[in-house]
Amino acid sequence: DTGVSQDPRHKITKRGQNVTFRCDPISEHNRLYWYRQTLGQGPEFLTYFQNEAQLEKSRLLSDRFSAERPKGSFSTLEIQRTEQGDSAMYLCASSSTSGPWTGELFFGEGSRLTVL
Amino acid sequence: KQEVTQIPAALSVPEGENLVLNCSFTDSAIYNLQWFRQDPGKGLTSLLLIQSSQREQTSGRLNASLDKSSGRSTLYIAASQPGDSATYLCAVSPALTTDSWGKLQFGAGTQVVVTP
């Protein structure tokens, strides 16, 4: 297993366009998380899934944001009608609720969004 | 509300010197604490995870301690090398329920530069 992978690594878009990011977690991990990180700050929690169920969404996740994990494997994060304030690094992480690594999050390389 | 603080925000040391990075948190009800490394423009690499019942964890040149009662963790990096230059982030996992484990609360990080 090569870890958590995210695609694309960098996306440049114009204000008002829609963008979608994909995350492939570590295969045996049942939990998947999305975080957002702006320059000079630590990541902030956005939402998470256990298998295919989205269990919690942060107040940071406006109505323009939607996340899915349709088959409990990969996940997508879509941002509609992007705004310049959406420019950030979007990080995906996964974890397991059983086994020796319970509670430890493993992060991907992130998807950097630049909204012009 | 949990607040995580990392001081100093930046640190520069000559190669070979030991590094001491501090992390403080306001709510001692944590499930675990993780230390991460982040290179510029990259994702997070997990360095050490300390469960709430543990006092320290070690991996190679890295040692992390945890004092829940005082709300502090310290990351020690022995005999620093230029390759250790990166931003180091600590994150605490709330202990409220098993559903909250992955909702990490991050500090803003300490940017470390090790000069040859």
Kindly tell me if the per-residue pLDDT of B26 is higher than 60: yes
Average pLDDT of chain A? Answer: 92
Q: Which H helix or E strand runs over B112?
A: strand B110-115
Taking CA–CA distances from A30, the nearest residue in chain B reads B102
Facing residue for B44 by CB, picked from A40, A107, A112: A107
In Å, how far are A20, A65, A68, A98, B61 from A57, measured between CA atoms?
A: 17, 10, 12, 23, 38
C-beta atoms surrounding B32 within 10 Å: 22
pLDDT: which is higher, B114 or A97: B114
- Residue B65's identity, in one-letter code, is S
Mean pLDDT to the nearest integer, A58-64: 89
**CA angle centred on B97, ends B91 and B102, rounded to 5°:** 35
Give the C-alpha distances (Å, rounded to integers) separating B103 from A9, B68, B74, B107: 23, 18, 21, 13
pLDDT in tens, A4-14: 999 999 999 99
pLDDT at position B109 over 80: yes
Q: Given this model, what pLDDT does residue B10 score?
A: 96
pLDDT of B115: 96
Q: From the candidates A35, A38, A104, which should be mutated to test the interface with B, based on the most B CB atoms within 10 A?
A: A104
How does pLDDT run across A12-43, given as a tens digit for each residue?
A: 999 999 999 999 999 889 999 999 999 999 99
Rounded mean pLDDT, B58-84: 96
Q: Name chain A contacts of B53, Cβ cutoff 8 Å.
A: none
Whether A25 and chain B come into contact, CB under 8 Å, resolves to no
pLDDT for A44 beyond 70: yes
Burial category of B69 from C-beta neighbours within 10 Å (exposed 0-12, middle 13-18, buried 19 and up): exposed
Q: Which residue of B has its CA nearest to A47?
A: B103
CB contact under 8 A, B89 and A33: no
Q: A35 pairs with which residues across the strands?
A: A45, A91
A19-33, B11-25, B85-99: range with lowest mean pLDDT: B85-99
pLDDT at residue B55, as a whole number:
95
Residue to test with chain B: of A36, A105, A112, A114, most B Cβ within 10 A: A105
Please tell me which of the candidates B44, B102, B108 has its beta carbon nearest to residue A31: B102
Q: Do β-strands A10-13 and A111-115 pair in parallel, antiparallel, or remain unpaired? A: parallel
Q: Which pLDDT belongs to residue A75? A: 97
**For B29-49, how does the pLDDT look when each residue is reduced to its tens digit (9 = 90+)?**
888 899 999 999 899 999 999
